[in-house]
Amino acid sequence: MRAIIAKPNAPLEIQEIGTPKPKSNEVLIKIHATGINRPDLLQRAGLYPPPANASPIMGLEAAGEIVEIGENISQYKIGDKVCALLNGGGYAEYAIAFEDCCFKIPNNLSMIEAAALPETIMTVYTNIFEVCGLKKGDNFLIHGGASGIGTMAIQMARAIEAVVFTTVGSDEKAKFCEQIGANMAINYKQDDFEEVLKPVGIDVILDMVGGPYIQKNINILNDKGRVCNIAYLQGPQAQINFMRLMLKRLTITGSTLRSRSDEEKGIIANGVKRDFWHFIENGQIKPIIDSVFSFEDCEKAHQLMASNNHKGKIILEVSK
């Protein structure tokens, strides 16, 4: 099969390598499309090495058709069209997926759209709903609302009738986020989100920025507020006054998805299927696609991701 091979500080290369074989509880997917995620750029730079049991090839989510199954497979059969969270390997013509981390693609979604779902919907679900307990009526803030994670978080929060605020880097992105459901989008280049939202009070925050945002997040949280960090684009370190943490009984947490076991990821995926997949099937939540690149143009896709000029997901089309 063809696969895109990344080496630190070197151009991407398409190479012929062996096709993987599914083991027990695994399926082999012929990939039609794969989602581009920021961790791919970190892995390429040598800053986010894959776990020992994971494929060294980039790509954490994909959509396609099951062409081979391992032992003990009960939910899927050869020919089923699925999207899946991967342990890596999405930048290739075939990839292995754990059975419970697969989702049947609804009829209202294309392969391109389905490839944008697994990483984003599972990340938002486990952090915001499982850990932070976002519920109807809560004030929810997502930093980076125009990103793939952000556009999914906005829609999922609105689906359960939370009040959604977000920060973005331009007026264009602010308008876009409000069009897809945000109650208020703040251009952080023009306004200080802390000043805008402190009078409002926030119950849950999903933050991928870190750095100076860490203290600002603490300052705007309501009593028993929760903040979850999933990335640190402005750095993981900050000088923090923790007194408000005590006085307001706040919770600060964080997580990554990739380092978890297949079994734990499967539990998260089953939670998504139970609590949110019907919103996907009825079209209330829909993946937002910014752009689609050919397999051969992966370098351009990475350049767009690095530029932060996209709105929604960037997709790599592997085969038609």
Which pLDDT tens digit goes with each residue over 7-47? Answer: 877 899 999 999 999 999 999 999 999 999 999 999 998 88
Q: How confident is the model at residue 53 (pLDDT cuts 50, 70, 90)?
A: confident
Provide the pLDDT for residue 200.
Answer: 97
Domain with CATH 3.90.180.10 in the chain: 2-117+258-317
Query: What average pLDDT does the segment 116-120 reach?
Result: 98
Provide the pLDDT for residue 7.
Answer: 85
Provide the pLDDT for residue 121.
Answer: 98
Q: Specify the amino acid at residue 116.
A: A
Q: Is the pLDDT of residue 152 over 90?
A: yes
Q: How confident is the model at residue 220 (pLDDT cuts 50, 70, 90)?
A: very high
Query: What average pLDDT does the segment 129-144 reach?
Result: 98
Provide the pLDDT for residue 137.
Answer: 98
Q: How confident is the model at residue 319 (pLDDT cuts 50, 70, 90)?
A: confident
Provide the pLDDT for residue 194.
Answer: 98
What separation in angstroms does the CA of 74 have from each of 2, 69, 79, 263?
A: 29, 10, 14, 15
Q: What is the pLDDT of residues 234-284, one digit of tens each?
A: 999 999 999 999 999 999 999 999 889 999 999 999 999 999 999 999 999
Provide the pLDDT for residue 171.
Answer: 97
- Percent of the chain at pLDDT exceeding 90: 94
295: left (phi over 0), alpha (psi -120 to 50) or beta: alpha
From the candidate CATH numbers 3.90.180.10, 3.30.460.10, 3.40.50.2300, 3.40.50.970, the one assigned to the domain spanning 2-117+258-317: 3.90.180.10
At residue 12, what are phi and psi to the nearest 5 degrees?
A: -70, 145
Domain with CATH 3.40.50.720 in the chain: 121-254
121-254 — its CATH code?
3.40.50.720
pTM, full prediction: 0.96
| Average pLDDT along the chain | 96
Query: What average pLDDT does the segment 206-222 reach?
Result: 97
